[in-house]
Every structure is written in structure tokens, then in C-alpha cells.
Structure 1
Amino acid sequence: MLKTFDAPKADPVDPAFRRDVLAGLAEPIPAIPARWLYDRRGSELFDDITRLSSYYPTRTETALLDAKMPEIAARVGKGGAVVEFGAGSATKIRLLVDAIAATAYVPIDISGDYLRDSAAQLDADLPDLAVYPVEADFTKTVALPAGIEGMPRLGFFPGSTIGNFVPSSATDLLYNFRATLGTGARLLIGMDRVKPVDRLIAAYDDPEGVTAEFNRNLLTRINRELNGDIPVDAFAHEARWNDMLARIEMHLVATRDVSFTVEGERFSFAKGRSIHTENSHKYGPRGGRLLLLAGGWTPIAEWNAPEDDFALILAEAQRERFAP
């Protein structure tokens, strides 16, 4: 039962995208928020990435969900609505909604076309599940559909996507999840762990070049939506491990001196200068739990993959942001 519930958008180009790109390119250390990597093509490419042998997070998390789902379902309870922040793997969400016999599913994503296509496919496969796709920026508080009013709510944020946010922004994000889901809600979240650097780099700079295409697609999107003339072939994808900050960083590095315009504004990059496009922070057990507490959630259960490779944490919404 596919429902329609889209946030109205007057401007065909998201003004936040325009603002973030122009401001980010003008910074002394240029950076563009990772969420703008996910237009329709970016979302398709990321799905391709999740199937690569070198990209362990999706495979590891899916196996953990499959192995621990009876325990997770016992802690969560039956029925209610699952609200997924960012339309993710169909395999993961099916494992969850089947195990808890969910009544409704609300995928929230900024990429509208991709969101509607994936929601329609899930609706066709699971006709007894009410599916309410919501096109919105999940980093803000989101108004949920009236159709799930009064239902118990389980937020779902898999894929270690929380790692894309610096800790201060991650805390704000979790608090917005708390505001979106409301009192009494629970959150099931995936967090990646620190591991050997060569394995981390391989996951974010695959030999097939799919992640490189995914990263450069951001420049293609800027050209298409913001009247840019960026020479995409003048930028190379690079993945770096920042040990001090415990994160993988993705950059687009200029391979030659280059100038271009976006929305009529001119930018110049010397060879070697980069645009920082994504972070993937890795959390140890205590760090992940403290992050949840700071964001308004109290951890109540945790499941870990073999060798502490990846974690799933179930948390409850605090009544007050800084409640003990």
C-alpha cells in the first residue's frame, strides 16, 4: 500500500545544495557536505559500491542483522512503524520489517526519484506493508505521515552513515531523529569500528573505480543543476585515513591547475588542491555509546560482528536531551 507524502519543493534545485556548494568551494579548505553525493545517479552508484568485494560494511552489517534479528525483534516488539533515515538496502529493511511484522514503513531520503522507485518496488513485493516515502532532508526534523499516528516507532539508521558526520553534527543529527520520532521511540543504528588501514582504504578506493565515479558524480551534478563548467576529468578521487580523527576522508584532488564557474561565480584550484567530500568516522564501543547519549538516546542493547568488526546498537529516546 504505497502512500504519497512528499515535502513541497518550489525550487527545482534545492537552495541548500546551491548554498552549500558555493560556500564550500569558497572556503580556505574547500568542502561540500556528503549528503549531496546522493542524487539519483549517486544513489545508484552507491548501491553498486555496496556489492563490491572490498566494501565490507554492507556485507558485514547485513550478516549481523541476519544473525541477530531474533534477538533484535525480541527487544523491539511486534508491529508499529519503521522510519528509515536514508533509503538503504532493500535486504536490510526487509529483514527488519519481516522480523517485527511492521505495520508501516517510512523511508526518508533527499533523492526523490530514487526514493520513489525503491519504495514502489518494496510496495510491490510486500503489499500488506503500508509504505510512506518522504522526500526530505533527514538531517532536519521531519514531519511524519499522519498514517502512522499513534504507532510505536523504530528509527533505523544502518550502514554506519552516522560516520559521515563530524561528532558535533552527528550529535545534532541524533537529536533531530529524537525530535522526529518522539517520546517512546527506539533507534537501531549501525556503527563501523576502527580496523587496519589497508582494509579501510580498499573499501573507499576500490580497484574497479566505482567509488571514484561516485565521488566525481558530485561535480557532474553541480554542472547540471548549478550551471557549472567544472572539467570533471581534472579531478581525481582520493581516500585518506586520518588517524588523529579516526576517519576515512574522501577528496577530489585537482590533477592540474584549473578554473571554472558555478552559478556565475569563478573558482580556481591549483594542482594538488582538493575538495573534501565525505568523512567516514569509525567508533569504538564507548565512543559510539557516548555519541548516542549526547544526541538524546540511551543505549539499551548492542550486537557486534565477529572480531568487533561492526556494531548494531538499539537505543531509547530520552525524555530530555540531557537526562541522566
Structure 2
Amino acid sequence: MKTDTGIALVDLDEEGVDRAFRADVLKGLNQLPKAIPARWFYDQEGSRLFERITQLDEYYPTRAETDILKTRSNEFAQLVGQGRAVVEFGSGSSVKTPLLLEAIDPAAYVPLDISGDFLRESAVALSQKFPDLPVHPVEADFMRRVSLPDGVGPLKKLGFFPGSTIGNMVPRTAVDLLRSMRATLGADEGESPLLLIGMDLVKEQQKLEAAYDDSDGVTAAFNMNLVTRINRELSGTIPADALDHRAVWNDDLARVEMHLVANRDIDFTVSGESFSMRSGETIHTENSHKFTPRSANLLLLAGGWTPIKRWVDEDERFSVVLARATEQREAP
């Protein structure tokens, strides 16, 4: 097993609290309307719940993307080539990541994730499945440029960002992330890196809302776990029974929105600060933007990536796009 111990880049205070988590939560609860970035869903329990979500009947994205990865593996291998280091932005999926690794025979695999425990579990599982593949887990916030482990830098690189996670961000933040990915992968060092990215497609409202409000209540538990994490890690006193899960399609902005809705007036504290919510008030916890081919291309180009090839599943629900880092030129 060739597994590094990982590189911890999360900034913890003297009490072991993630400073960025606390800053984002306090900022989000102080603004109107209240909102907390979706990346904080993914503590260990949140990551496990999301894995359950991907197996639900209503949640089509994982099945559709997996179908693409299975049926187009020869095309990936031909376009990507062998010997690249795969840098995955987010802990590797137990299903999707092996499909890619088997298809392209990489020189190394580097999963980046902010959830250290889940990251290490995922890295160990993949090391066992691919015993000859060097695996270098890096615990980090990939929204910013990340320094890759020694030995990976000189290799050609393929970024992997499945699951349409790019849709969780408003366009401005998504563009910033794409540019950070470009910087992490070393776009100005040797051959331009590639990016393989999943991007969910616009479709019927009923299918979209059902995917984020399943009949088993797993997505609701995933949303509510954010409250559990805040209460545990930030000394919060948020009454969980006073909040309900809600998922709605916003057609004007082409996105499904997830909210935690107060079912009564409440007062609570987080990290010593006092807050209140009136009945019906919400905490906006996630966006999941959906794309057309044109809007997907525009987003990638704005982030410094030129689309090369697009694949869709048989039912045209989901797309996987291969893009190359756009060559940077100095302004005249």
C-alpha cells in the first residue's frame, strides 16, 4: 500500500476549531437572508450521508455520471493518455473514481478534501483497490490554491471534479474555483493540465426537486446534519426540532435551492454570539445550479478552461466535460 499520511492545511485555533468554518457560519447567520456555504456539509457524518444520497432512486446524477464513466472509458483513455497524476477535488467516490483510474492508468492519485477523516478512509480504500498506485491524500480547502505533494509536481495532471459539485456555487464563486483549480494543477508548468468535470443538466422541475427531497428523508438528514455540526463544533444551541428541510427549484437562476426553515420563532447562540429567527425565516444551505451546454461552456471559459469534449448519458440528464487549461497570454 503506497499511501502518504496526508498534508493537513486546515487552519485550527487553540481549541481545535476550524477558523474558516466558524467565520463562514457567523458571517452567514449575521446576514439577511441567512446563508451558510454548502462545503460545510461534509464532516464525516455529512460525507457518509451524501454517499447514501447517491444511492437513492430519486437521485439520478450519480447513476447518470457513472454510466458515462463506464461506457466512455476508451474515449477518456484516448484523449487523456496514460501517466498523468489524477488530482480529485473532493474525496474519491467508491464507484466513480475507480472507473476513471482503471480507464487511464495514472501515475499517481491525489484526493483533496476538507473532511480529513473521510478523506483518509477513501484514500485507504483506493490504495487497497490499486496497490501499485501512489496515493497522496491532502487535507485542504480546495477553494484556494493547494500545494501538491513532492513528486507530483513534475507530472502531467488531470483534475477530476465529478458530481456537478461546481453547481453548488454561484457563478462568481464557481469561476474563482475553476481558476484556483488551474493554479493548483500548475497550468504554467510544462504541458497544460486537463480537467474532467461533471455538470448536471436542466430538466423537469419535478425530477429536480425530488432529487433533493427524497421520500426516505436522507437529504433532509444531510441538511440537518449541518445544525448538528454547528452545535457540536461551535458550541451552538440551535434547536434542531425548530428547523425543517426544504428544497425548491428557482427557474430564474436555474438552480435547486436547499433551505432550513424555522417552524417557530427561535433564539440561539453560536460561538458566544446571539441570533434569532422568526417562523418561516430560512437559512439557505445549498444551491445546485443546472446547466445547458452553452452555459456550461461559458462558465468553463470564464474560469480559464477550454472545453474539448462533452459526453451525456443515454437519457440526457447529465454531462461530463473534458477541458484543457487555456493558455495564459500577457495583455498587449
Both proteins in one fold, TM over 0.5: yes
DSSP-derived class of the 1:84 partner: strand
2:313 aligned partner = 305
Q: Which residue of 2 is the match for residue 2 of structure 1?
A: 3
Asked if the contact 2:92–2:122 (Cα under 8 Å) also holds between the matched residues in 1, the reply is no
Q: CA deviation at 1:322?
A: 9.2
Equivalent residue for 1:171, pick from 172, 175, 180: 175
What does residue range 72-221 of structure 1 map to in structure 2 within 5 Å? 72-183=76-187, 184-221=192-229
Residue 273 (structure 2) aligned to one of 216, 240, 265: 265
Offset at residue 24 of structure 1 (A): 0.3
> Is residue 158–residue 190 contact of structure 1 (8 Å, CA) maintained in 2?
yes
Structure 2: distance between partners of 1:215 and 1:136? 22
Query: Which residues of structure 1 form unaligned runs of 5+?
Result: none
Please list the CA deviations of residues 148-175 of structure 1 after superposition, one character each: whole Å capped at 9, or x if unmatched.
1311100000000000000011001000
* CA distance in structure 2 between the aligned counterparts of 1:26 and 1:143, rounded to whole angstroms: 33
Structure 1 position 24 matched with structure 2 position 4: no
Q: Within 1, Cα distance between the matches of 2:207 and 2:55?
A: 16
5+ long unaligned stretches in structure 2: none
TM-score by length of 2: 0.95
Paired position in structure 2 for 1:253: 261
1:256 partner amino acid: R
Distance 1:14 1:71 in 2: 41
Q: For 2:275, give the aligned amino acid.
A: F
Q: What letter matches 1:67 in structure 2?
A: T
Contact 2:256 2:289 in 1 (8 A): yes
**Amino acid aligned to 2:105:** A
Give the distance between the partners of 1:180 and 1:141, measured in 2 at CA: 5
The CA distance in 1 between the partners of 2:84 and 2:204, in whole Å, is 39
Task: Tell me which amino acid in the other structure corresponds to 2:165.
Answer: T
2:37 to 24, 29, 33: 33
- 1:10 offset after TM fit, Å? 4.2
Of residues 108-117 and 81-90 in structure 1, the stretch that sits farther from structure 2 once superposed is 81-90
What displacement does 1:51 show?
0.4
Alpha-carbon distance in structure 2 between the residues aligned to 1:307 and 1:95: 20
SS of alignment partner, residue 176 of structure 1: helix
Structure 2 counterpart SS, 1:314: strand
The percentage of aligned residue pairs carrying the same residue is 59
What is the RMSD of the two structures over their aligned residues, measured on CA atoms?
1.2
| Equivalent residue for 2:72, pick from 64, 68, 72 | 68
Partners of 1:3 and 1:125 lie apart in 2 by 16
Mean Cα displacement is larger for which, 280-289 or 82-91? 82-91
SS at match of 1:306: coil
Q: Distance in 2 between matches of 1:25 and 1:321?
A: 41
How many residues are paired up? 323
Residues 97-154 of structure 1: per-residue CA shift (max 9 Å, x gap): 1111112100000000110011111111211010000000011000001121311100
SS at match of 1:137: coil
- The whole-number CA distance in structure 2 between the counterparts of 1:66 and 1:322 is 40
Report the CA distance between 1:88 and its aligned residue. 3.5
Letter of the 2:278 partner, please give it.
A
The residue type paired with residue 241 of structure 1 is: W
**Is 1:182–1:317's contact at 8 Å kept on the other side of the alignment?**
no
Conservation of the 8 A alpha-carbon contact between 1:81 and 1:105: yes
State the SS of the aligned residue for 1:239.
strand
Moved over 6 A (4+): none
TM-score by length of 1: 0.97
Cα deviation, 1:164-189, whole Å, max 9, x if unaligned, reads: 00001100100000000012100000
Once the two structures are TM-superposed, the CA of residue 321 in structure 1 deviates from its matched residue by: 7.6
